[in-house]
């Protein structure tokens, strides 16, 4: 342990402290959990009492352990790992659920910033925090009772979009006591989790488990209704909605910006490609597929193309492996399945025959000339052009929000709908925006954090508490 000395004179050795909290557990003054993170707790006193022999510098002290600090929804990782170690799986899942309405899903696909921050990684390997969450969710979900609202508030909130942002907002508001409905245009709830992330990475029964828990708190999910087309803000107000949260994500694929991009057979945008597979449509990708991009969506498209029967799938990315945003585990899985990755490569133009794609003109790149944020730019290397054969080209270079909903009277503030990133307010007083739609493409846990924040802002707005 990193703490030594007699009870009244503890010594914290900062070099060895890994915020495991074993000292706090052993210390009788720390048995009250609520004391642990308080400034005047024993831990706080250890840091400040001059009588004590302390080697910690102020800048070394974090209000929370690093794993918890790195998590957008501040999961008490230390707490639930300890409960799992004691075989208290139900309590572990209850603790996880207190901050995270989608624990089963996160056990599969969270990008786990907690593990990147885990101090155990300095010694050997980070703890497998995501797998432990997955284990707790699998072991204890059947024994968990639905959460009862703490009050009954005679106000209705409509959330547009049932992705992680919308689901998290709905769960928080239902727990608080509001009547909550979600309007979803797709025929199944879950957002990108239901049709973007492939089933081989996120089984649909796992998604359903978390959604069932949320609907059991009283959230009503209405699918197959498109906001802006089938229903408007005006309709919602007429049926008694007091506040609206728009959480429609980023559903529009960015273009490769190549000539005649959309007009050739054999071209697909990744979300359309993944959605067709999720809908059970028969896809014939041909023998050779090129995927352009470097994120999880690109990796998912490449792996899906192989599973759809392509003989050869090559992913091209204009930067290097260090810059690639896709999760390392996903890249490893793609390579092991046979996906070829060509780094420092970008497409220049399509090669076609009879309006069908037969290949791509490509060029090698190098990183130089930093942009405004200091990020090195991929620049073409002169004389390095080459040709790649392809029956299908999938573009996976990012997504943006579809602002069709603006027809409803919402206005843009610069390029964003949200006028205030703190309040998540739009130009209409009772309309808020959250998740990827408001902040740009992110991750499941970041979208959830934003959804929870939107719920808090709506509650403050409706209750006049701020």
Of 77 and 83, the one with the shorter C-beta distance to ligand FAD is 77
The tokens describing 434, both together, are 């959250």
Nearest distance in Å: CB 457, ligand FAD = 16
Distance CA 70, CA 308 (A): 37
The reply on whether position 264 binds ligand FAD by CB under 6 A is: no
Closer CB to ligand FAD, 41 or 223, in the complex:
223
| Integer Cα distance of 222 and 209 in angstroms | 17
Q: Which stretch binds ligand FAD (CB under 6 A): 36-44, 258-266, 409-417, 439-447?
A: 439-447
CB of 391 to ligand FAD, least distance (A): 21
Give residues 137-176 in contact with ligand FAD (rule: CB under 6 A).
Answer: 160-166
* Cα–Cα dist 187/298, whole Å: 24
- Dist. CA 357–CA 186, nearest whole Å: 30
CA distances from 374 to 211, 368, 369, 455 (A): 41, 10, 9, 35
Opening angle at CA 460, ends 438 and 400, nearest 5? 5
Indicate left, alpha or beta for 398 from its phi (over 0: left) and psi (-120 to 50: alpha). left
CB closer to ligand FAD out of 91 and 402: 402
Measured from the CB atom, the residue of 83 and 106 that comes closer to ligand FAD is 106
Q: Report in angstroms how near the CB of residue 261 gets to ligand FAD at its nearest.
A: 19
Contact 359, 389 (CB under 8 A): yes
What whole-number distance in Å separates Cα of residue 321 and Cα of residue 43? Answer: 42
- Asked whether 334 and 341 are in contact (CB, 8 A), the reply is yes
243 bridge partner residues: 157
Is the CB of 344 or the CB of 437 nearer to ligand FAD? 437
- Please state the closest distance from residue 410 (CB atom) to ligand FAD, in A: 12
CA distance 168 to 101: 6
| Alpha-carbon span 306 to 310, nearest angstrom | 5
Residue number with CB closer to ligand FAD (185 or 345): 185
CA distance 453 to 459: 10
* The binder of ligand FAD chosen from 111, 134, 364, 452 (CB under 6 A): 111
CB-nearer residue toward ligand FAD: 247 or 305: 247
Least Å from the CB of residue 229 to ligand FAD: 7
* Listed residue (249, 180, 246) closest to 424, CA to CA: 246
Interface with ligand FAD (CB under 6 A), residue from 70, 77, 102, 109: 109
Q: Compose the 170-209 pattern: x for residues touching ligand FAD by CB under 6 A, - for all others.
A: -------------xxxx----xxx--xx------------
φ/ψ (deg, to 5) at 249: 70, -165
Stretch touching ligand FAD by CB under 6 A, among 30-38, 280-288, 296-304, 380-388: 296-304
Q: Which of residues 381-420 bind ligand FAD (CB under 6 A)?
A: 405
Binding site for ligand FAD (CB under 6 A): 109-111, 160-166, 183-186, 191-193, 196-197, 226-228, 247-249, 251, 274, 296-297, 300, 405, 435-437, 441-445, 447
């Amino acid at each position: 342990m990193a703490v030594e000395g007699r009870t009244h004179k503890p010594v914290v050795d900062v070099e060895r402290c890994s915020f495991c909290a074993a000292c706090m557990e052993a210390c009788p003054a720390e048995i009250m959990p609520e004391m642990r993170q308080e400034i005047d707790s024993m831990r706080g006193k250890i840091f400040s009492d001059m009588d004590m022999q302390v080697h910690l510098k102020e800048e070394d002290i974090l209000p929370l352990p690093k794993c918890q600090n790195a998590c957008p929804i501040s999961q008490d990782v230390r707490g639930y790992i300890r409960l799992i170690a004691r075989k208290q799986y139900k309590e572990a899942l209850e603790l996880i659920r207190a901050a995270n309405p989608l624990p089963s899903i996160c056990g599969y696909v969270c990008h786990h910033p907690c593990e990147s921050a885990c101090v155990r990684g300095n010694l050997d390997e980070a703890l497998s925090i995501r797998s432990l969450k997955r284990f707790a969710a699998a072991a204890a979900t059947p024994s968990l009772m639905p959460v009862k609202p703490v009050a009954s508030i005679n106000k209705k909130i409509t959330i547009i979009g049932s992705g992680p942002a919308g689901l998290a907002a709905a769960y928080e508001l239902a727990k608080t006591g509001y009547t909550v409905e979600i309007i979803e245009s797709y025929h199944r709830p879950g957002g990108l989790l239901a049709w973007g992330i492939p089933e081989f990475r996120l089984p649909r029964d796992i998604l359903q488990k978390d959604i069932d828990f949320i609907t059991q708190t009283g959230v009503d999910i209405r699918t197959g209704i498109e906001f802006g087309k089938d229903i408007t803000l005006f309709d919602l107000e007429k049926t008694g909605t007091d506040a609206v949260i728009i959480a429609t994500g980023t559903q529009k694929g960015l273009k490769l910006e190549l000539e005649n991009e959309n007009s050739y057979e054999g071209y697909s945008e990744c979300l359309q490609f993944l959605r067709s597979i999720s809908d059970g449509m028969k896809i014939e990708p041909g023998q050779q597929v090129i995927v352009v991009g470097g994120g999880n969506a690109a990796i998912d498209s490449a792996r899906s193309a192989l599973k759809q029967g392509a003989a050869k799938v090559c992913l091209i990315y204009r930067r290097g492996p260090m810059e690639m945003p896709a999760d390392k585990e996903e890249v490893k899985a793609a390579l092991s399945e046979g996906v070829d990755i060509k780094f420092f490569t970008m497409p220049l133009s399509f090669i076609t025959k009879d309006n069908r794609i037969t290949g791509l003109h490509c060029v090698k790149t190098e990183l130089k000339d930093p942009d405004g944020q200091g990020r090195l730019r991929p620049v073409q290397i002169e004389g390095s052009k080459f040709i790649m054969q392809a029956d299908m080209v999938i573009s996976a270079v990012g997504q943006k929000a579809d602002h069709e909903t603006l027809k409803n009277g919402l206005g843009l503030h610069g390029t964003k709908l949200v006028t205030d990133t703190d309040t998540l307010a739009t130009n209409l007083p009772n309309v808020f925006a959250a998740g990827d739609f408001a902040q740009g493409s992110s991750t499941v846990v970041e979208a959830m954090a934003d959804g929870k924040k939107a719920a808090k802002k709506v509650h403050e707005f409706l209750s006049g508490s701020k």
